[in-house]
Amino acid sequence: MREAGAPVYYRIYKELKRRIGKGVYSKKLPTEKELCGEFKVSRLTLRRALDELKRESVIESSKGRGTFVVEEKHEESISSLTGFTEEAARDNRKAKSIVLKDGLVVPPVEIAELFGIPTDGMVVLLQRVRYLDDEPYGIERAYLNPLADIRILNIVNRDMSEESLYAILKNEFSIVLDHAQENIEVCRLSREEAKHLKVKEDSYAISRERQTFTNKNLCVEVVRSVYRGDRYRLKVVRRVE
């Protein structure tokens, strides 16, 4: 743990970070009293080390519960067109959902226009809380266009708590997804959203709207989502043309 010339708090910070990286502390850190006793330092010195780890989002503290290791954020590449379940499988993680709504609705006017249906036409709305390894990560509201394939209407009869929507569209309905355009913003969670995601109201989140098109340039879905800012990040790869 020795680093010549380094302040004591910094050496403690480096050692704690090393232990976390090695899995010595995988969930919860020892109490401040225990760590002060081990390193033979004051609480003020220890807290400077802990503050550095908090600044890097390595740990987080909860009053009355202790100090915990922050789980690594789920990273999604937005350079490729994939679904939540496919992204989870790529990372060897388990995806599941709680279905909040799966039925026919009259969509917002702008979505009806994108789908090319009458403003009073019906589409499928699939709204789900998306989980990774039993922890909620986001809420997705997917509007689906039955003009792309009439069998889309049958999704209301499927158990979408376990199934992948993109797998159904591509593998069962043979819909060729060609491209998508997406708008991404930072937002704050409403009380209801925060309740579903098990975080505090007004927490920061990532707001996304994706419009997905087939190889016939038909908009097949519009997905409006919010993802937890503390558990999710997006990755973009840019190439020189």
Residue 138: how many other CB atoms lie within 10 Å: 23
Both structure tokens of 25: 């502390």
| Contact of 235 with 202, CB cutoff 8 Å | no
Query: What is the reported pLDDT for 213?
Result: 95
More reliable by pLDDT, 88 or 176: 176
Starting at the edge strand found earlier in the chain, the sheet holding 177-188 runs: 95-105, 123-132, 135-144, 219-228, 204-214, 177-188
Q: Could you report the per-residue pLDDT of 174-218, keeping only the tens digit for each?
A: 999 999 999 999 999 999 999 999 988 999 999 999 999 999 999
- Give the pLDDT score at 175: 94
E strands of the chain, at which residues?
59-62, 66-69, 74-77, 95-105, 123-132, 135-144, 177-188, 204-214, 219-228, 232-235
Token pair in block for residue 160: 């979408």
> CA-CA distance, 187 to 102, in Å (whole number)?
25
Question: In angstroms, rounded to a whole number, what is the distance separating the alpha carbons of residues 198 and 196?
Answer: 6
Q: Pairing between strand 177-188 and 74-77?
A: unpaired
